[in-house]
Structure 1
Amino acid sequence: MPDLTVREYNPTGHLGRHQVLDPRSLAYRRPYDGQPLRATAWEPRIPVLDQKNLLAQGIRTAEAYGLETDVDALSSCTGNAAAALLSILLTPEQAYAASFNTQDAAMAEHFAIGLYADATACDQWSDLAWPSQDVGSSGLGVAKAMRNRGLIDQYGHATTAHQLCTLLQTGPVLMGMPWRSAMSEPGPDGFIDADPAWADSPLEGGHEVCLIALEGVAFIDDHLDYDHTVLRFRQSWGGAWGDHGDGRLRLSTYLALREEIDLIQPRKDGVVL
């Protein structure tokens, strides 16, 4: 097994991401070399998914995964974030070939759960996997799962604010992060850092989201203004959460959490990082 750095969080049924860093993989970073950073947006082509209310959506995990009973929520945020990203990355023909129904929310959620199962199997640091146990997974694990399925060609990382903004110029990015209780009740427009005391609220677990936009890019004397540069992400808790299923955070919040965050950008069609 490679020399991994692993930070585990307690899976809760709607929070299930663990931070797993592989130095070999982290070597693939797209450097920031001064190119202009502009506002960008990448809109998912699937409905907002919901990993918390599976039964109401008609999703029966017992039959699909050989379980004794159905579950109503899964720690499958990595699979859900990856599904949102793939709906942007793949053409309709590629999605169809992968049995990814982008028009039906329940079918798309089934696809996300399948990715989650594969991700838990790709997490070399753990002997447990879904569906035997709802153990959570990692951004690295789901990136490997997508590549194993042939859904992506490669993936790269970012470890700084400028590298993150650079990646968002070319496509969506998976972000794994610690999730604090104040974030679950976002403010106006879905800002999870609207409460000035968000950082002091209890840690609820680890979570994976899909960053889909760099909004409100601001500068001070030609330097990024972290407090007024905004990231938008697709959540996986239904369309009633946040801004119609999306959330936002300031780049300064990313910087405050950076040690516990991992950023991965899967790529398709031979694009070289």
Structure 2
Amino acid sequence: MPDLDITQYTVTGALGRHLVLDPRSLAYRRRYYGEPLRPVEWAPKVPVLDQQDLLAQGIHTSHMFQGVEDADALGSCTANAATALISVLHTAEDLTAAGLDVTDPVAAETWAIGLYSDATHRDQWSEQAWPSDDCGSSGLGVAKALRARGLIDQYGHATTALELCRDLQNGPVLMGMPWRSAFFEPAGSSALLDDIPGWEDSPVAGGHEVCIVALEDVRCDAGGGLDLPRTVLRIRNSWSTSWADHGEFRMSLALYQALRQEIDLVQPRLDSHRR
């Protein structure tokens, strides 16, 4: 097994991302060379998913996997975020052929749980896997699972705010981040996570994977660099449409910069096909 940089977090029914970095992959990241940065938005075809309240949705993991009891929530955020992302890259017809029904949130969540299982088995650094251990996964693991299914050609990493904004010009990006307890309740539907009072002193509840779907605003400072507090990301979560802004939230690049040491950015790509 390669020499990986691994940070594990507590796994709950809402949170299940671990930080796993592979120096071999990071060595091939595309550096930023001054490409133009503009506001951009990507629209997932799949509805906002919900990795919690599975039984209320009619999802029975006991029916999906032999010998597994029903779970009412899973730390499957990596797969939920990847399901949103992959629904941007492919047509609805191609997604249906891959078993993903983007018209039915229950069917899509069920598909995401299957992808979660694949991702946990791709995380070879861990001795656990789903089923039946709800062990969480990583952005790297779920990217490998997508590639193994033939749904992407490759994946790349970004390690700076500029690289992230550049990559968003070409498609959505998976972001794994440390989830502070204060982040569970955003200050308002259109407010930033940055606006939550005292978030800096709030404990880390776990790791969470989300899908960045928009660079809503790009601002520059007086020196021509990115104005981090005023450059805003919009992000798809997987806690149902009742959470925050219809299941999405916003944060500035200033918050990204503050949390950067515990964030990983992965962009699964379909470079050889037209979207």
Q: Which residue of 1 aligns with 2:254?
A: 252
Q: 1:101–1:108: 8 Å Cα contact kept in structure 2?
A: yes
Residue 151 of structure 1 aligns to a residue in which SS?
coil
d(CA) in 2 for partners of 1:6, 1:262: 11
Q: Which residue of 2 aligns with 1:184?
A: 184
Q: Which residue of 2 aligns with 1:193?
A: 194
**Greater shift in the superposed pair: 152-161 or 181-190:** 181-190
Unaligned runs of 5+ in 2: none
d(CA) in 1 for partners of 2:137, 2:58: 24
Deviations 1:211-270 (A, max 9, x none): 000011111121110001001110000001011110111100000111110000000142
CA shift in 2, pair 1:8/1:90, >3 Å: same
Q: How many equivalent pairs are there?
A: 271
Matched, 1:59 2:62: no
Q: CA deviation at 1:190?
A: 4.9
d(CA) in 1 for partners of 2:71, 2:194: 31
Residue 82 of structure 1 aligns to a residue in which SS?
helix
Q: Which residue of 1 aligns with 2:46?
A: 46
Residue 52 of structure 2 aligns to a residue in which SS?
coil
**Greater shift in the superposed pair: 141-150 or 181-190:** 181-190
User: Where in structure 1 do 4 or more consecutive aligned residues deviate above 3 Å?
Assistant: none
Alignment match of 2:229 (pick from 214, 227, 230) = 227
Residue 247 of structure 1 aligns to a residue in which SS?
strand
Residue 46 of structure 1 aligns to a residue in which SS?
coil
Deviations 1:75-119 (A, max 9, x none): 000000000001111112210110111100000001110110000
d(CA) in 1 for partners of 2:46, 2:129: 26
d(CA) in 2 for partners of 1:67, 1:169: 44
d(CA) in 2 for partners of 1:213, 1:55: 31
Report the aligned-residue RMSD. 1.0
Q: Which residue of 2 aligns with 1:83?
A: 83
Q: Which residue of 1 aligns with 2:242?
A: 240
Q: Which residue of 2 aligns with 1:164?
A: 164
Q: Which residue of 2 aligns with 1:13?
A: 13
d(CA) in 1 for partners of 2:52, 2:192: 21
Q: Which residue of 1 aligns with 2:267?
A: 265
Q: Which residue of 1 aligns with 2:106?
A: 106
Q: Which residue of 1 aligns with 2:207?
A: 206
d(CA) in 2 for partners of 1:115, 1:193: 31
Q: 1:183–1:193: 8 Å Cα contact kept in structure 2?
A: no
d(CA) in 1 for partners of 2:97, 2:26: 30
- 2:250 maps to amino acid: R
Q: 1:20–1:139: 8 Å Cα contact kept in structure 2?
A: yes
After TM superposition, the score normalised by the length of structure 1 is 0.97
After TM superposition, the score normalised by the length of structure 2 is 0.96
**Greater shift in the superposed pair: 89-98 or 208-217:** 89-98
Residue 102 of structure 1 aligns to a residue in which SS?
coil
Q: CA deviation at 1:69?
A: 2.4
Q: 2:176–2:265: 8 Å Cα contact kept in structure 1?
A: yes
CA shift in 2, pair 1:136/1:194, >3 Å: same
d(CA) in 2 for partners of 1:119, 1:60: 20
Deviations 1:138-167 (A, max 9, x none): 000000000000010000000000000000
Residue 85 of structure 1 aligns to a residue in which SS?
helix
d(CA) in 2 for partners of 1:20, 1:169: 25
Q: 1:191–1:248: 8 Å Cα contact kept in structure 2?
A: yes
Q: 2:68–2:131: 8 Å Cα contact kept in structure 1?
A: no
Residue 230 of structure 2 aligns to a residue in which SS?
coil
Q: Which residue of 2 aligns with 1:139?
A: 139
Unaligned runs of 5+ in 1: none
d(CA) in 2 for partners of 1:248, 1:59: 29
